[in-house]
Amino acid sequence: MEKLKQLKNIFAEMDRALIAYSGGIDSTLVAKVAYDVLGDRALAVTAISPSLLPEDLEDARIQAADIGINHEEVITNEMANPNYTSNPVNRCYFCKSELHDTLKPLALERGYPYVVDGVNADDLQDYRPGIQAAKERGARSPLAEVGITKLEVRQIAKELGLPWWDKPAQPCLSSRFPYGEEITLAKLQRVGRGERYLRQLGLKNLRVRSVGDTAKIELPPEEIKPFILTTDLPQLVSTFQEFGFVYVTLDLEGYRSGKLNQVLSPEVLANR
């Protein structure tokens, strides 16, 4: 595939690279290609914070070990920044600022001239203020540079034999809150517990949105009816209330990536 060849050429020109590695399929593909080209001159680094599920961290560890790439973990402190916890429309900017303000000094200290991330070509079409924060700090996005879309990420990952090529997207837990609602550790934990519970029921593509004291469950539209017919709903409600929610609802529109951005004004979206 021509785009895979171009991706490899980018890493060959870098010589050494540090990958901002979340364990999602985008950054996992970047880590895989970087390791295939650079070997021990590539380093994957995962940021640990309350917005990352422990299960996702464990997945990242397993995947990195399977690839063979050197893998380290750092702690980020975005929760200490009120510009982040107040959850403004550009919350992601402050999250990625913290991430890259942590990774860039580490990269320079270790002799890695480049920090790269897993932003793909489709991400550039969405409202992602964090992309600007990464650019301001000199990070590169090889997938986007080559024009690789999310679908192509999965196709290339499958071609390379990565068993996680169809892994559902799992953005940080802070993306579960409507803009303007304060993000707290307790709220992140109850959202995480809710999503973990639903995963244990066998669901994969899902979100638990937190709106005040209400948990709003989002599932793919085709899974809504089977979910209602086969799930012990009273037990589910009781479990979510144990997690700290008061009310539990099901979004009848179904899961849609970036749904919370629909409230943003055209002016905000124009500045993405």
- The structure tokens listed for 187 are 């709220």
Domain count, the chain: 2
Query: Mean per-residue pLDDT for 166-175?
Result: 90
- Are 239 and 134 in the same domain? no
Alpha-carbon distance of 40 to 20, in angstroms, equals 16
Domain presence at residue 256: yes
In a domain, 202, yes or no: yes
Give mean pLDDT, residues 136-165.
96
> Is the pLDDT at 116 greater than 90, yes or no?
yes
- Return the axis-axis angle of helices 25-38 and 150-159, rounded to nearest 10°: 50
Per the prediction, the chain carries an average pLDDT of: 94
Phi, psi of 43 (to 5 degrees): -130, 125
The helix or strand, by DSSP H or E, that contains position 48, with its residue range, turns out to be strand 42-48
Please report whether residue 269 resides in a domain. no
What percent of the chain shows pLDDT beyond 90? 89
Collapse the DSSP code of 71 into the 3-class scheme (helix H, G, I; strand E, B; otherwise coil) and give the result.
strand
User: Cα–Cα distances in Å, from 137 out to 78, 97, 130, 181, 228?
Assistant: 16, 8, 11, 28, 46
Whether 236 and 114 share a structural domain: no
Which helix (DSSP H) or strand (DSSP E) does residue 249 occupy? strand 247-250
Tens of pLDDT, residue by residue over 209-250, are 999 999 999 999 999 999 999 999 999 999 999 999 999 999
From 159, 186, 205, give the residue that closes a domain.
159
The residue out of 126, 159, 192 marking a domain boundary is: 159
Same domain, 192 and 234: yes
Answer yes or no: do 177 and 154 share one domain: no
Whether residues 73 and 186 fall in one domain: no
CATH code of 37's domain: 3.40.50.620
Residue 125 lies in a domain: yes
pTM (2 d.p.) = 0.91
Q: Which tokens hold the place of 121?
A: 């070509």
Specify the residue for token string 């995963």.
Answer: 199
Residue 64 CA, distance from chain mean position: 16
Q: Are residues 140 and 188 in the same domain?
A: no
* Any domain includes 270: no
Residue 7 within a domain: yes
Domain boundary among the residues 116, 133, 159 is at 159
Supply the range of the domain harboring residue 194: 173-261
